[in-house]
């Protein structure tokens, strides 16, 4: 079979092998009926078995939810073990709605995905998995179906992104588990592909025993599986999955850093064929984070919630993204070749979504009657246009320079720019044309985000201009609140962008001095026209609460990821109506 056909077959492989139809008053199958009738189990001492990665639920709708676990067979078990799933409306399993045998597939790393249908909307369910052969029972999971129109006055989405195991503890997941969120929206970078000692490693990695496994960069199916198992061994991530249903999309690190449809910054020729690596990563993603899709390469999908939220989950990373632009390709000995860069940047053929997904997105938004059209983006949609001279210095610092003279120059330039921008906003008539140009000559800071694909962003804004648009975003490891504006300066929507679970933010570039970071935050909020708020150093999540009249975002942060502490503070709250 040629490579293209192999990849297509893998893409369309059906990972949701098991399905269960719930029924009112289902009978819990007792051990005396369903266990081995020969009685051999009484004489066998099983060992090694367990539900070590916990349980999880995914893609809730009004009448169904995907339930997940991974079962490690006992040393004495052969083939694909049979286990049982019980679903009930009470934690004691007295009101059981489903009890059915399901098959563990060794070809999917012993993971189990069961799509349970005919459930009741806006209802909490309890579930567990058990092996009758080895008498092993999983922890009890909790999940909830989505409310139909009229069944809820508010919907709470906990928005998370960017969890690097090596960077520190997953206190943010612990805080989400303890929150009153209805659903967790995970915007990607659920794992990181780097080797032990690579990105994210810091002074606490060794003492916390957080070094990546396997030790090398993950490239093949077995590598990705071991990395997911390591992440899912984390007790706080397990707790979040146990108590909350997740809706997930991938970003780049589930494959490789700065990925796009045909390659990635962190994929080198000596690491094999990128298409094979990508499909291996996609296969394992679906094994551990199942989604209700027809084609495993196409994870964009939507969820109608309570009659006032249409949650549209996108793939701005893999399925249709053209390669990112890089400023380094446009620098000459005399500086930036702005004409050449602008021609490439404004090329109408460049896409972050791909034509098929773009058409689907516009159709889903315009076809929805919900007040809030909520985009689950991997990357920032808001404009981050900063003064050109600031951009050049920031790029040098971000590249790893520790030259004190460079930092001094950066601080001097930033102070000058802030002063000029303040005078401009105050209508100072003494400003010169040259001074105005310093703050009005702006360029996109992050070409890996929607800023690198401005023509397509404008097309989306124009196509859905009569809708209430809210963008949820991750990827940057920092928190942002921005107005979404079109090229004419008209408001197209609002963006609530979350900080990371553990991955380092701007403090990794500019240091952790509070005064330095505060100055950086204040300067950028002033110099970037659409930016209303930024936090450059804290780890946390966004709690997005929607009602029929309001959309509220709360930026919640934990105080540390070096020791276990799930307490949060809400540092910023905004409300859109």
Residues whose CB is less than 8 angstroms from the CB of residue 254 and which lie 6 or more positions away in sequence, other chains included: 188, 189, 190, 191, 193, 281, 285
Identify whether residues 227 and 321 lie together within a single domain. yes
**Is residue 405 domain-resident?**
no
Identify whether residues 127 and 198 lie together within a single domain. no
Q: What is the pTM assigned to this prediction?
A: 0.96
Residues whose CB is less than 8 angstroms from the CB of residue 542 and which lie 6 or more positions away in sequence, other chains included: 158, 159, 472, 479, 496, 497, 498, 553, 554, 555, 556
Identify whether residues 198 and 96 lie together within a single domain. no
Q: Virtual CA dihedral for 144, 147, 148, 151, nearest 10 degrees? A: 130
The pLDDT of residue 400: 85
The pLDDT of residue 574: 98
- Compute the distance between CA of residue 554 and CA of residue 479 in angstroms, rounded to an integer: 11
- Compute the distance between CA of residue 119 and CA of residue 213 in angstroms, rounded to an integer: 38
Q: Is 188 left (phi over 0), alpha (psi -120 to 50) or beta?
A: left
Angstrom CA distances, 37 to 41, 133, 570, stand at: 9, 11, 57
Q: Are 119 and 63 in contact (CB under 8 A)?
A: yes
- Compute the distance between CA of residue 367 and CA of residue 355 in angstroms, rounded to an integer: 18
Instruction: Name the 3-class secondary structure at 386.
Output: strand
Q: Are 34 and 73 in contact (CB under 8 A)?
A: no
Mapping DSSP onto H, E and C, the string for 116-161 reads: EECCCCCCEEEEEEEECCCCEECCCEEEECCCCCCCCCCEEEEEEC
Domain final residue pick, 101, 119, 145: 145
- Compute the distance between CA of residue 386 and CA of residue 421 in angstroms, rounded to an integer: 12
Residue 61 structural domain: 1-145
**Is residue 374 domain-resident?**
yes
Identify whether residues 252 and 220 lie together within a single domain. yes
Identify whether residues 357 and 275 lie together within a single domain. yes
Q: Which two tokens stand for residue 575?
A: 């409300």
**Is residue 427 domain-resident?**
no
Q: Is 477 left (phi over 0), alpha (psi -120 to 50) or beta?
A: left
The pLDDT of residue 28: 67
Identify whether residues 123 and 258 lie together within a single domain. no
CATH of the domain at 35: 2.60.40.380
The pLDDT of residue 21: 86
Q: How many CB atoms lie within 10 A of CB 490?
A: 10
Q: Is 107 left (phi over 0), alpha (psi -120 to 50) or beta?
A: alpha
Identify whether residues 373 and 463 lie together within a single domain. yes
* Strand pairing class (18-21; 111-117): parallel
**Is residue 391 domain-resident?**
no
Each residue of 188-215: b (16+ CB within 10 Å) or e? bbbbbbbbeebbbbbebbeebebbbbbe
Q: Virtual CA dihedral for 341, 343, 348, 353, nearest 10 degrees? A: -10
**DSSP 8-state secondary structure symbol assigned to residue 445:** S
- Compute the distance between CA of residue 383 and CA of residue 499 in angstroms, rounded to an integer: 17
**Is residue 474 domain-resident?**
yes
Per-residue pLDDT of the chain (577 residues; tens, 9 = 90+): 454 454 455 455 555 568 888 876 666 665 533 444 334 455 789 999 999 999 999 999 999 999 999 999 999 998 899 999 999 999 999 999 999 999 998 999 999 999 999 999 999 999 999 999 999 999 999 999 999 999 999 999 999 999 999 999 999 999 999 999 999 999 999 999 999 999 999 999 999 999 999 999 999 999 999 999 999 999 999 999 999 999 999 999 999 999 999 999 999 999 999 999 999 999 999 999 999 999 999 999 999 999 999 999 999 999 999 999 999 999 888 888 999 999 999 999 999 999 999 999 999 999 999 999 999 999 999 999 999 999 989 888 888 888 899 999 999 999 999 999 999 999 999 999 999 999 999 999 999 999 999 999 999 999 999 999 999 999 999 999 999 999 999 999 999 999 999 999 999 999 999 999 999 999 999 999 999 999 999 999 999 999 999 999 999 999 999 999 999 999 999 999 9
Domains of the chain: total: 2
101 bridge partner residues: 84
Identify whether residues 58 and 160 lie together within a single domain. no
Each residue of 125-147: b (16+ CB within 10 Å) or e? bbbbbbbbbbebebebbebbbbb
Identify whether residues 133 and 184 lie together within a single domain. no
Q: Which helix (H) or strand (E) holds 416?
A: helix 404-425
Identify whether residues 453 and 554 lie together within a single domain. yes
Identify whether residues 35 and 140 lie together within a single domain. yes
Identify whether residues 172 and 124 lie together within a single domain. no
Q: Are 384 and 446 in contact (CB under 8 A)?
A: yes
Domain final residue pick, 145, 179, 207: 145
Q: Virtual CA dihedral for 78, 76, 87, 176, nearest 10 degrees? A: -110
**Is residue 399 domain-resident?**
no
Q: Which two tokens stand for residue 228?
A: 């997911």
Domain final residue pick, 145, 166, 198: 145
Rg (alpha carbons) of the chain, rounded to whole number: 25
CATH of the domain at 451: 3.60.21.70
**Is residue 516 domain-resident?**
yes
Q: Which helix (H) or strand (E) holds 357?
A: helix 355-366
**Is residue 329 domain-resident?**
yes
Angstrom CA distances, 233 to 47, 210, 239, 573, stand at: 19, 11, 10, 33
């Amino acid at each position: 079979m040629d490579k293209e056909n192999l990849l297509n077959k893998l893409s369309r492989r059906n990972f949701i092998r098991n399905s269960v139809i719930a029924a009112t008053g289902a009978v819990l199958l007792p051990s005396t009926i369903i266990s081995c009738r020969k009685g051999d189990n009484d004489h066998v001492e099983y060992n090694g078995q367990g539900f070590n990665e916990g349980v999880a639920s995914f893609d809730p709708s009004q009448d169904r939810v995907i339930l997940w676990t991974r079962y490690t067979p006992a040393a004495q078990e052969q083939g694909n073990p049979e286990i049982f799933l019980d679903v009930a409306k009470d934690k004691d399993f007295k009101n059981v709605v489903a009890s059915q045998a399901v098959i563990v597939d060794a070809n999917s790393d012993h993971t189990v995905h069961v799509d349970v249908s005919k459930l009741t909307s806006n209802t909490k369910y309890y579930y567990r998995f058990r092996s009758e052969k080895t008498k092993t029972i999983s922890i009890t999971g909790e999940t909830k179906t989505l409310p139909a129109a009229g069944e809820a006055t508010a919907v709470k989405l906990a928005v998370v992104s960017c969890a690097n195991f090596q960077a520190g503890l997953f206190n943010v997941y612990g805080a989400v588990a303890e929150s009153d969120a209805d659903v967790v929206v995970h915007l990607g970078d659920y794992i990181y592909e780097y080797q032990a000692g690579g990105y994210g490693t810091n002074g606490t990695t060794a003492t916390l025993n957080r070094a990546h496994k396997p030790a090398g960069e993950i490239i093949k199916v077995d590598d990705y599986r071991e990395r997911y198992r390591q992440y899912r061994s984390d007790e706080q991530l397990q707790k979040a999955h146990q108590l909350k249903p997740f809706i997930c999309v991938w970003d780049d690190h589930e494959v490789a850093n700065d990925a796009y449809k045909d390659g990635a910054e962190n994929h080198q020729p000596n690491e094999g064929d990128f298409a094979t690596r990508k499909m291996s990563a996609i296969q394992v993603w679906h094994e551990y984070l199942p989604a209700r899709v027809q084609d495993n390469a196409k994870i964009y999908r939507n969820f109608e919630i309570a009659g006032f939220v249409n949650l549209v989950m996108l793939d701005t990373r893999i399925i249709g993204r053209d390669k990112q632009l890089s400023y380094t390709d446009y620098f000459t000995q005399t500086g930036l070749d702005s004409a050449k860069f602008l021609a490439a940047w404004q090329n109408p053929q460049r896409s972050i979504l791909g034509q098929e997904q773009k058409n689907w997105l516009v159709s889903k938004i315009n076809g929805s009657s919900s007040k809030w059209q909520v985009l689950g983006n991997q990357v920032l949609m808001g404009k981050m246009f900063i003064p050109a001279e600031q951009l050049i210095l920031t790029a040098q610092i971000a590249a790893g320079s520790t030259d004190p003279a460079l930092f001094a120059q950066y601080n001097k330039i930033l102070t000058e720019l802030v002063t000029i921008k303040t005078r401009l906003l105050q209508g100072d008539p003494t400003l010169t044309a040259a001074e105005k140009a310093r703050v009005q000559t702006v360029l996109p800071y992050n070409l890996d985000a929607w800023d690198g694909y401005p023509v397509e962003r404008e097309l989306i804004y124009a196509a859905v201009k009569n809708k209430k648009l809210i963008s949820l975003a991750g990827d940057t490891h920092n928190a942002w609140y921005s107005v979404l504006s079109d090229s004419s300066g008209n408001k197209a929507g609002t963006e609530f962008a979350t900080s990371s679970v553990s991955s380092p933010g701007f403090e990794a570039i500019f240091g952790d001095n509070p005064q330095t970071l505060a100055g950086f935050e204040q300067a950028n909020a002033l110099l970037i026209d659409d930016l209303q708020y930024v936090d450059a150093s804290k780890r946390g999540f966004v709690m997005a609460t929607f009602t029929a009249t309001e959309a509220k975002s709360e930026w919640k942060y934990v105080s540390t990821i070096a020791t276990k502490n799930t307490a949060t503070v809400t540092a910023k709250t905004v409300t859109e109506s």
